[in-house]
Amino acid sequence: MGEHGTGGTVHLLCLATSSGVPLFCRSSRGGVLTRQQLPFSVIGSLNGVHMFGQNLEVQLSSARTEDTTVVWKSFHDSVTLIVLSSEEGTSELRLERLLQMVFGAMVLLVGLEELTNIRNVERLKKELKASYCLIDSFLGDPALIGDLTQCVDCVIPPEGSLLQVQEALSGFSEATGTAFASLVVSGRVVAATEGWWRLGMPEAVLLPWLVGSLPQQAARDYPVYLPHGSPTVPHRLLTLTLLPGLELCLLCGPRPPLSQLDPQFLERWWQPLLDPLRACLTLGPRALPDGFPLHADILGLLLLNLELKRCLFTVHPLGNKEPSPEQRRRLLRNFYTLVTTMHFPPEPGPPDKEDAGHRTQLPRACYLVLGPGMGWQVVALQLGPRQLLLLLSSQSPTHGLRALATHTLHALTPFL
């Protein structure tokens, strides 16, 4: 299992489907954004071969060369996205989901009407610049994983803090007249109202990711479209910084105006909770509260609840052991694409009667020992709607991997 992202290059192209005119090109090398652009002749060839297939009623979705994977995807017969990746171990699943998230980001910040009814290409190019920051965060080396899992990145607040924060959040959202409110730290949801959790995909993933990708500001009033729930009518995303790195997010209509949320109104609800809020600040990349009981061999974990569409992802459970956090993220991302593609079904639920015989053959656990020269181990376990992926040190005995994963899953189940 390779470590994709090491030294490889990713090019993302967006073109108008009818004319083939490029709308933008974004690139990264080794997880770092670059200004490198593909020659127009290459862009034309990539679009031409896709259009040639369509004219013959053949859907070209992906292709591989000796060192590059290419994926095409058209949306609403209006916009075509193409991604080329020379990163080692890149999977088609990852690239397909990247294109889905990129188009979702375009709809979120521009609206579906502008993308499906292109009247002025140059104006659309200018409008799409508003989505570059969010799109670029997918192409870099993200600390989040919702772009790949299509589940909302979450954290586990310290014991006793969640109830206080949840009550304050519910009361504040009721006082402001919106059912959609959440607390976000580093792009991860700490707590949210029932209305916020009912948001569809991909906006449920994109909204906190957007907040985490923007520069820090005391307050924002941001127009957004909901790709699933309201792709043509904009809503307002209000964000208020309660503490540096911890933001209160409200999704609402014309009301309330941002000016109504004055400091005294905020202090009434949140000043009494300063200590619980400060405790949430440390939950950024770690995602787990200090002192949470995890086995010393665990270097990183990914827990998914496929029913709730939420996930918990951390590569910081313990100190500064090797491999680096960047390597851990790449290894877990690669392992997730492997088990999703090869072993575990993408959706939970009881098997159909006709398919019961096949379903019983699906694995419930798998593991790999990474090499050569690394010795780290990865193990995956599926139990009902939950999937747990662990990255473990080389000292962890292979015969104990499943027991360790089962124990960890049971310890985390009450929280997700």
CATH of residue 377: 3.30.450
Does position 308 have pLDDT exceeding 50, yes or no?
yes
Alpha carbon 396 to chain centroid, angstroms: 29
Distance CA 184, CA 207 (A): 10
Alpha helix stretches (DSSP H) within 177-319: 194-197, 203-213, 263-270, 274-281
Question: Do 167 and 261 lie in a common domain?
Answer: yes
Average model confidence (pLDDT) across the chain: 88
Does position 15 have pLDDT exceeding 50, yes or no?
yes
Q: What is the pLDDT, as a whole number, of residue 269?
A: 87
DSSP-derived 3-state class of residue 37? coil
Of 215, 246, 281, the residue that ends a domain is 281
Question: Do 110 and 187 lie in a common domain?
Answer: no
Question: Do 14 and 137 lie in a common domain?
Answer: yes
Does position 5 have pLDDT exceeding 50, yes or no?
no
Q: What is the pLDDT, as a whole number, of residue 304?
A: 97
Question: Do 251 and 313 lie in a common domain?
Answer: no
Question: Do 65 and 160 lie in a common domain?
Answer: no
Does position 173 have pLDDT exceeding 60, yes or no?
yes
Instruction: Give the model's confidence band at 255: pLDDT under 50 very low, under 70 low, under 90 confident, else very high.
Output: confident
Does position 116 have pLDDT exceeding 80, yes or no?
yes
- Domain span at residue 340 reads 298-415
Q: What is the pLDDT, as a whole number, of residue 373?
A: 62
Output 162 or 151, whichever has higher pLDDT. 151
CATH of residue 62: 3.30.450.70
Domain tally for the chain?
3
Q: What is the pLDDT, as a whole number, of residue 320?
A: 63
Of 217, 252, 281, the residue that ends a domain is 281
Alpha helix stretches (DSSP H) within 150-296: 161-176, 194-197, 203-213, 263-270, 274-281
Residue 277 covered by a domain: yes
Residue 246 covered by a domain: yes
Does position 229 have pLDDT exceeding 60, yes or no?
yes
Output 398 or 80, whichever has higher pLDDT. 80
> How do residues 338-350 score in pLDDT, each as one tens digit?
999 988 866 655 5
Question: Do 133 and 171 lie in a common domain?
Answer: no
State the average pLDDT over residues 399-414: 93
Residue 343 covered by a domain: yes
Q: What is the pLDDT, as a whole number, of residue 3?
A: 47
> How do residues 77-105 score in pLDDT, each as one tens digit?
999 999 999 988 788 999 999 999 999 99
Of 281, 315, 342, the residue that ends a domain is 281
Residue 373 CB neighbours (<10 A): 5
Residue 259 CB neighbours (<10 A): 8
Residue 134 covered by a domain: yes
Residue 51 covered by a domain: yes
Residue 286 covered by a domain: no
Q: What is the pLDDT, as a whole number, of residue 394?
A: 86
Q: What is the pLDDT, as a whole number, of residue 4?
A: 42
Based on DSSP, count helices (H) and strands (E) in the chain, helices before strands. 14, 17
Residue 98 covered by a domain: yes
Q: What is the pLDDT, as a whole number, of residue 339?
A: 93
Does position 390 have pLDDT exceeding 90, yes or no?
yes
Question: For 13-27, 181-195, 199-213, 286-300, which range has the lowest pLDDT when averaged over its residues?
Answer: 286-300
Question: Do 132 and 229 lie in a common domain?
Answer: no
Question: Do 31 and 132 lie in a common domain?
Answer: yes
Q: What is the pLDDT, as a whole number, of residue 314?
A: 94
DSSP-derived 3-state class of residue 64? strand
Residue 19 covered by a domain: yes
State the average pLDDT over residues 177-185: 94
State the average pLDDT over residues 378-403: 92
Question: Do 267 and 345 lie in a common domain?
Answer: no
> How do residues 367-383 score in pLDDT, each as one tens digit?
988 866 677 899 999 99
State the average pLDDT over residues 228-240: 95
Does position 397 have pLDDT exceeding 50, yes or no?
yes
Question: Do 248 and 333 lie in a common domain?
Answer: no
Distance CA 322, CA 117 (A): 51
Question: Do 305 and 380 lie in a common domain?
Answer: yes
Contacts of 361 by beta carbon, 8 Å cutoff, 6+ apart: none
Nearest 5 degrees, angle CA 72-CA 305-CA 409?
125
Question: Do 21 and 90 lie in a common domain?
Answer: yes
Residue 117 CB neighbours (<10 A): 9
Does position 357 have pLDDT exceeding 70, yes or no?
no
CATH of residue 203: 3.30.450.30
